[in-house]
Structure 1
């Protein structure tokens, strides 16, 4: 996977620069969402590896008539270079660049129980001084027992009951 990210990075950076300069970041983000979903389908992965399928046919599978001329050309470049399977990684890297450009960071919140909108807004407000604007995605993990665990990039804040119990266990063993 690390190799795919390395191969995808120049494409993601190029398409981000193109979209940023043209003021079309939202439409490119939407297009890359769709393209990545298509590229992830097992049938399409099989198609990409089939030597009987010509590049124009592969481009048609991805384009489907809903892409701009620039987006279609991008797909054509990927197909011509045998890199269409990198679209999920290109999308992910593009979103990271877009979020950085917009000043927004992604945060994964693991909670022992479902959180309502008010609690999420309060959590985002509490984290804002440390991390800035955050886009929260919430996952329920009953093994946490209580509290939350927040991951922003490579930084993790563990305020869960399970995390505190593990910390106490480690301290008692020393």
Structure 2
């Protein structure tokens, strides 16, 4: 994974720079998301390893499967195909989104809850995090019944654990002599 990120980083940076110059960050985000989905399929991985197809053919198939792409985005896929880097499209998409979020002052957070959150509850969590970090919050929600109750929030490398499971684990460690 670390090697894939190292390989993907310069491509993500180049795509981000081009998207900024064109003023088309949302379009590039959408295109990279679709390309990432296509590249992550088993069929695509079979294509990547097929010696009977040229890089240009594989790139064209991936671009066509991703749907509407602009000329620069198609060229980007062609460059990836020529350099045998189509397999790192998912990592490129992740790195691109991280750069976009940093550029736009947005924080990605993952809110894990034992039960599905109502929209009002999620809005309260997002408002609290926005006030704490002074940035816009883009939250994704995961349901994890093992938390027993409460929530666990991941903001970058930081974890805010307000779950029953976390509190029980803390109590158990405090009780050990």
Question: TM-score category by the smaller chain?
Answer: over 0.9
Matches of 1:98 and 1:73 in 2, distance apart?
21
Matches of 2:127 and 2:30 in 1, distance apart?
28
SS at match of 2:84: coil
Are 2:82 and 1:74 aligned? no
Matched-pair contact (CA < 8 Å) for 2:112–2:152: yes
TM normalised by structure 1 equals 0.96
Q: Which residues of structure 2 form unaligned runs of 5+? A: none
Matches of 1:109 and 1:85 in 2, distance apart?
29
Deviation at 1:168, TM superposition (A): 0.7
- Paired position in structure 2 for 1:144: 147
Structure 1 range deviating more: 97-106 or 53-62: 53-62
Deviation at 1:14, TM superposition (A): 0.6
Report the aligned-residue RMSD.
1.0
Matches of 1:59 and 1:168 in 2, distance apart?
54
Q: Which residues of structure 1 form unaligned runs of 5+? A: none
* Matched residue count: 174
TM normalised by structure 2 equals 0.95
Deviation at 1:42, TM superposition (A): 0.8
- Paired position in structure 2 for 1:166: 169
Deviation at 1:76, TM superposition (A): 0.6
